[in-house]
Amino acid sequence: MNVRVYITPKQGILDPQGATVERALPNLGFEGVSGVRIGKFIEFKLDPPAGTTAAQAEAEVDEMCRKLLANPIIEDFTFAIDEG
Amino acid sequence: MPSAARHPVRFGVVVFPGSNCDTDAHHAIGTFPGATARYLWHKDTDLGGVDAVILPGGFSYGDYLRCGAIARFSPIMQAVRDFAEGGGLVIGICNGFQTLVESGLLPGGLLRNMGLKFVCRYVNLRVENADTPFTSSCREGDLLRIIVKHNEGNYAVDAETLERMKANGQIVLCYADARGELTAAANPNGAVESIAGICNETFNVFGMMPHPENSVEAHMAGGSDGRKIFQSMIDAVMQRAEVPA
């Protein structure tokens, strides 16, 4: 399965990069943009043992995110798992 | 059984791939007659009987993923964790501080500087708590002039934890102006409440973004205010040795 992890600065923590980009977009004529957060995108393939349920795979990826891929103290994360 | 006061105090300086202030830290300890330093390689699994540990500055493991995120899993860090949990003195400087927060040995996290720039300049550090093994050579309110050089030194922590840390006296050093005021202009990285250095709840683990190891010799331009941090640690180890176990 293909896993895609999206990591952004935790809500409530200032994101100076996002704020700068948000101010730049209107200068180029793109109006109506708000809430820009700049983070990271991580993708990988996961080949779990036969019989692994979708829920188990999700739990495993969630643990990967908490333990290494993201730092939950300063970052939020979401992920998507696709078969194939 | 009483243990005799022991000389010298032995410091271990951890060397990760990408550490670059390890030699400075080793040299700094060597300027104290009462202390010696040895290097501890990141693949080592024990601390070789040292009395205190220094996690130095640099770019451990290339700062991949997040600063300190990979260093946290190196074999030596398990030994450092055990040492800290047993009450041993651990100081993390800059990247070492980042490694300590990633390890969960200190609360909070270190974000990219608010100005999005690497900052290299002298700062004034106001001593908020002089009753710690890392600041006992100072008095509360003292200003230490020490250099910062970092890109991710913007300390962040949730409000609830911050209140608890303040109540416990875990906020040890803050960025101040020359008069000792905690102004925005004096804060080099946007750290919450100008926080530059913190202790854990048991006051044996300490992290600071500025580099005391670069201010240990009076004949150098940076002065010698950094000595107070290491002298405090030496005194703390000596005092422990004098107390009957």
B203 in a structural domain: yes
- List chain A residues with CB under 8 Å of B101: 73
- The pLDDT value given to residue B229: 98
Is position B183 within any domain?
yes
Q: Which pLDDT belongs to residue B242?
A: 77
In a domain, B1, yes or no: no
Q: Is residue B185 part of a domain?
A: yes
Domains in chain B: how many in total?
1
Whether residue B76 contacts residue B14, with contact meaning beta carbons closer than 8 Å, is answered with yes
Å from A19 to nearest chain B CA? 11
When divided into structural domains, chain A yields a total of: 1
The Cα–Cα gap between A84 and A29 comes to: 40
Nearest to B116 among A17, A68, A74 (CB): A17
Contact assignment for A20 to B116 by CB distance below 8 Å: yes
pLDDT of residue B4: 45
Catalytically active residues of B are: 94, 211, 213
Residue B137 tokens, joined = 């050579």
pLDDT at B202: 98
With CA atoms as reference, report the closest residue to B58 among B27, B28, B88, B14.
Answer: B14
- Residue in chain A lying closest to B189 (CA): A16
Q: In this structure, is residue B4 part of a structural domain?
A: no
Quick one: pLDDT at residue B2? 39
CB of B192 less than 8 A from some CB of A: no
CATH number, domain with residue A72: 3.30.1280.10
Range of the domain at B149: 9-242
Chain B residues closer than 8 Å to A71 by CB = 66, 69, 102, 109
Residues B106, B185: Cα–Cα separation, whole Å = 26
**Are residues A13 and B157, on separate chains, in Cβ contact within 8 Å?**
no
pLDDT at res. B3: 45
Alpha carbon B209 to chain centroid distance? 7
Is B96 inside a domain boundary?
Answer: yes
Contact flag A74-B111 (C-beta cutoff 8 Å): yes
CB of A41 within 8 Å of any CB in chain B? Answer: no
Distance CA A32, CA B175 (A): 38
User: For residue range A44-75, what is the model confidence (pLDDT) as tens digits?
Assistant: 999 999 999 999 999 999 999 999 999 999 99
* Whole-number Å distance between alpha carbons of B16 and B22: 9
- The domain in which residue A36 lies consists of 2-82
Distance CA B198, CA B196 (A): 7
A69 close contact with B: CB closer than 8 A: yes
Q: What is the pLDDT of residue B1?
A: 36
The token duo for B81 is 């964790």
DSSP states along B66-120: STTTTGGGSHHHHHHHHHHHTT-EEEEETHHHHHHHHHTSSSSEEEPPTTSS-EE
Question: How large is the angle between the packed helices B75-85 and B95-103, nearest 10 degrees?
Answer: 70
Q: Is residue B3 one of the residues assigned to a domain?
A: no
Residue type, B141: G
Q: Which residue of A has its CA nearest to B104?
A: A73
- The pLDDT score that the predictor gives to residue B6 is 59
**Cβ contact (<8 Å) for A73 and B109?**
yes
Identify the CATH number of the domain in which residue B131 sits. Answer: 3.40.50.880
Residue B215 domain flag: yes
Reading chain B (245 residues) residue by residue, the pLDDT tens digits are: 334 455 799 999 999 999 999 999 999 999 999 999 999 999 999 999 999 999 999 999 999 999 999 999 999 999 999 999 999 999 999 999 999 999 999 999 999 999 999 999 999 999 999 999 999 999 999 999 999 999 999 999 999 999 999 999 999 999 999 999 999 999 999 999 999 999 999 999 999 999 999 999 988 877 999 999 999 999 999 998 876 54
A14-55: per-residue pLDDT in tens?
898 999 999 999 999 999 999 999 999 999 999 999 999 999
For residue B98, CA distances in Å to A65, B232, B240, B243 come to 18, 22, 28, 33
